[in-house]
Structure 1
């Protein structure tokens, strides 16, 4: 390990912390990258999360050799990333703070560039850069060029990576640190807690090496989506004031499709499709009224029967004009306006938000509905749609035939600038004024991502049969 020279004693102290759980095989390279920084006024805190490999031994050896620069914390029981970060926040001496994961490592210019940016722009409180993707052995396999938040991404759906984003320590303390009931996606929490309080800057240069390997926590997509949902819940709670927007859910119901008759009465896991859709919507305390909309009186009679027998809560029912629905499909915007207008006739006021909920999305949960409504408010978007990320290679027409749109997929990499999403048909939440004055989506569209399993929809009778045989 090279000897470090404190040639910048008068410049701000930076706290670098490394959480480590069974990453001993990577830890030495990670630590070395801190000692090799051109910017040397830093302190290093290594936190071992109950590892059963040699992680603690490596960390102790570093601290024995450099006691003035390093601190070692050993947790006998894993505490989780957010609680660990709060522990570091409480003992940090640095004006700035940055997390470095134990399986990654810094470019030698990383701290120098990030500190210089923050010092030169005092109104900015957070800085992040691009990064190299590497294979398990450390060979570079790609470069991620992050979007410039507030410029290329005004909605904020691509917040800085939780690791190797430098921020002002005081700013995070001012917002209460990290939420300890969320154990992932700290980059998302940092961004949504701080982006309106402090600005963010992007360095268009790679500042760290992001190792891709089978045990990487970032590969657990379902866990990350759950954590992201909880983050939006917490932020939404902080927005609650004396006025509560009137959120109306509309469930459009078509009785039959070619080859698929009696759709709303069909059962999935012991419950009819319509009953399941109503009950899921009713579980949300953010939904004020539910409207079942159909051109079939028989469907509405069935919905009424469900309510009268106590199988679902009371709700509104509106019969759509058959002439209006003469085509195979009625435009979603039209049926949402129809339902919202009916609500206004009944209640005397128009809704604030309309949420389209597909009856066919049998794995949609109340968390998805709540998240869509939370994101609509937090991001100040016109509309929020539910999507599923398209992870397969996709092509578009080019001058020489088909052009590969997302070549990173053949390296098992998902570059931000190559991400593709498709509407999964489950949820559309939009402001009433957007529906009335614009088209369905408006101009600023945000999204919630749902997993492949949660995006599942019953589109034909065979899907019901296959489910019953499982």
Structure 2
């Protein structure tokens, strides 16, 4: 008996990738899996893309669409509406599918409730030369914290399942895969396969051009997810410890950056986040106390603490624990607290909001701010330097990704702190910071640099 294989729709999205699109189309045509249709959607290109696409118009399994520029998410929905396949996968016009990609992805749909399957990928340069292989975690064995979405491209979906959750959110101009991930995992299972599926081409046009745009879009997605899950109703508070320059020369609340004091820059961002029922500034500096009382910031209260409690080696865990107990039910009934330092004057309200949303969505104990660090690290073993995240075979494992912690940014569970006198729990989530927001001031040189950053 001949068993008919399911049809797979590969759609190729293109905007001014005329230098690469032929390789992408050919990689789709050369699949070892035979039952495919290909939809090429040109999103208003102004380069030579149309001439290359037209050379494929006589192929019976290829459809071409030319449209005015709509952006990626709307283009994804155009493809979803056109798709005849039981399964659908997007190939960006600057990437290349491996010959057995579709066959391998199909093999991952081993039960009816799996909605999406994804794999590993090679990173190549703009000429297609291999740089390294990126290998994902094993989602079947290792992953319990589902905060690392699949790659937006070359992930295969069951077409009907993707349509059933409404397709792509057209309000977004980027981060389509990040948004879709939350809606998929809310209703279905996902699966990754330990095989390289495609070559991701790293070049000037697809490297992150605006961290702020991407991270603010993520923040909006997290806000919507948190709202839909009704997990944004519990109380939270912010705790801003300020030693003051009399105790620590690096603590500079009244240092001006541009026209504003650092303390005002920090408070403005914390208030802008609109997630805290109370904002506590804890300091032994009576001048700062009077200043804040005169400013009359909404929801900001001051806590005058002793000089001894503000020494550099004083435990912040102990200080916070004692303060929460002294405030009684008002703070003890809050779900989350958040420590925010003043050494970083360029916090953004949406990053603070994202941290609280992540804590609630994923039910973690802590959320910290991080910067991804792609540098190679070594440790001294006594006899040699040993690579910590270095592999001579050019394999990069997701488990070996390094993140640098952003100082003075930590969401914690209030109950955990009360019970254990420690800010730290077992499960730690993260929110990615842009470079400017992560910048910390420790010296007058940093003040000079902050003045330059403020102007950007």
TM above 0.5: yes
Alignment map for 1:146-225 (pairs within 5 Å): 146-149=136-139, 151-217=141-207, 221-225=211-215
**Kindly tell me: are residues 290 and 107 of structure 1, through their superposed partners in 2, closer, same or farther at Cα, counting changes over 3 Å?**
same
Q: Deviations over 1:417-467 (max 9, x none)?
A: 432112111421122122223432211100011122111122234433454
Give the whole-Å Cα distance in 2 for the aligned partners of 1:266 and 1:196. Answer: 46
The 2-side partners of 1:177 and 1:437 are apart by 44
Q: Kindly state the Cα deviation for residue 323 of structure 1 after the two structures are TM-superposed.
A: 4.5
* Aligned CA distance change for structure 1 residues 126 and 255 (closer, same or farther; 3 Å): same
Residue aligning to 1:394: 377
Superposed displacement of residue 48, structure 1? 0.7
Q: CA deviation at 1:134?
A: 2.0
Contact 1:8 1:41 in 2 (8 A): no
CA distance in 1, matches of 2:438, 2:73: 29
Task: Give the Cα separation in 1 of the matches to 2:443 and 2:148.
Answer: 36
Which of 325, 331, 334 matches 1:341?
325
Aligned to 1:3: none
Structure 1 residues 436 and 409: CA distance shift in structure 2, 3 A: farther
Matched, 1:45 2:29: no
Q: How is 1:121-160 mapped onto 2 (pairs within 5 angstroms)?
A: 121-149=111-139, 151-160=141-150
Tell me, what secondary structure is at the counterpart of 2:295? helix
Unmatched runs of 5 consecutive residues or more in structure 1: 1-6
Would the alpha carbon gap of residues 386 and 8 (structure 1) be closer, same or farther in structure 2, given more than 3 Å must change? Answer: farther
Asked if the contact 2:309/2:319 (under 8 Å) is kept, the reply is: no
Equivalences for residues 69-148 of structure 1 within 5 A: 69-76=61-68, 78-118=69-109, 120-148=110-138
> Is it true that 1:416 corresponds to 2:398 in the alignment?
yes
Shift of 1:102: 0.7
In 1, Cα distance between the equivalents of 2:410 and 2:116? 32
In structure 2, distance between residues paired with 1:191 and 1:150:
16
Specify the SS of the correspondent of 1:275.
helix
What corresponds to 2:293 in structure 1? 304
Going from structure 1 to structure 2, the CA distance change for 1:197 and 1:253 (only over 3 Å counts) comes to: same
Q: Is 1:255 paired with 2:244?
A: yes
The reply on whether 1:356 has 2:339 as its aligned counterpart is: yes
CA distance in 2 between counterparts of 1:459 and 1:201 reads 45
Residue number in structure 2 paired with 1:58: 52
Which string of whole-angstrom CA distances, capped at 9 and with x for unpartnered residues, describes residues 185-209 of structure 1? Answer: 2232222221131111111111111
The answer for the alignment partner of 1:317 in structure 2 is: 302
- Asked if the contact 2:250–2:442 (Cα under 8 Å) also holds between the matched residues in 1, the reply is no
Q: Residue 331 and residue 168 in structure 1: after superposition, are their counterparts in 2 closer, same or farther (change >3 A)?
A: farther
Does residue 279 of structure 2 align to residue 290 of structure 1?
yes
Counterpart for residue 434 of structure 1 = 416
Distance 1:106 1:329, change over 3 A: same
> TM-score, normalised to structure 1's length?
0.88
User: 1:378 aligned to 2:378?
Assistant: no
Q: Is the 8 A contact 2:266 2:346 kept in 1?
A: no
Q: Which moved more, 1:99-108 or 1:288-297?
A: 288-297
Q: SS of the residue aligned with 1:32? A: helix
Tell me, in whole angstroms, the C-alpha distance in 1 between the residues paired with 2:191 and 2:39.
25
Contact persistence 1:130–1:145 (CA under 8 A): yes
**3-state SS in 2 of match to 1:213:** coil
Partner Cα distance (1:453, 1:405) in 2? 27
The one-character-per-residue Cα deviations of 1:247-293 (angstroms, maximum 9, x if unpaired) are 10111111126672872222222112222222221122211111111
Structure 1 residues 74 and 95, CA, compared in 2 at 3 Å: closer, same or farther? same
- Measure the CA separation in 1 of the matches of 2:228 and 2:77: 20
* CA shift for structure 1 position 409: 12
- Between 1:268-277 and 1:327-336, the stretch displaced more is 327-336
Would the aligned equivalents of 1:360 and 1:458 in 2 still touch at CA under 8 Å? yes
Question: Aligned match of 1:460 in 420, 440, 443?
Answer: 443
Normalising to structure 2: TM-score of the pair?
0.91
1:15 is aligned to 9
Q: 2:387 aligns with which of 388, 392, 404?
A: 404
Partner of 1:227: 217
Equivalent of 2:432 in 449, 458, 461: 449
Classify 1:460/1:300 alpha carbon distance in 2 versus 1 (closer, same or farther; 3 Å).
same
1:113-161 deviation line (CA, Å, top 9, x unaligned): 211221x322322111111222322232321111123643322233211
The farther-off stretch of 298-307 and 31-40 is: 298-307
Deviates more, 1:430-439 or 1:356-365: 430-439
Q: Which residue of 2 aligns with 1:26?
A: 20
Indicate if the aligned counterparts of 2:238 and 2:337 stay in contact, CA closer than 8 A.
yes
The alignment covers a number of residue pairs equal to 452
Structure 2: distance between partners of 1:173 and 1:236: 22
CA RMSD of aligned residues (A): 2.7
Alignment correspondent of 1:280: 269
1:111 and 1:17 map into 2 onto residues whose CA distance is: 12
Structure 1 residue 370: deviation in Å? 0.5
Which blocks of at least 5 consecutive residues in structure 2 are unaligned?
none
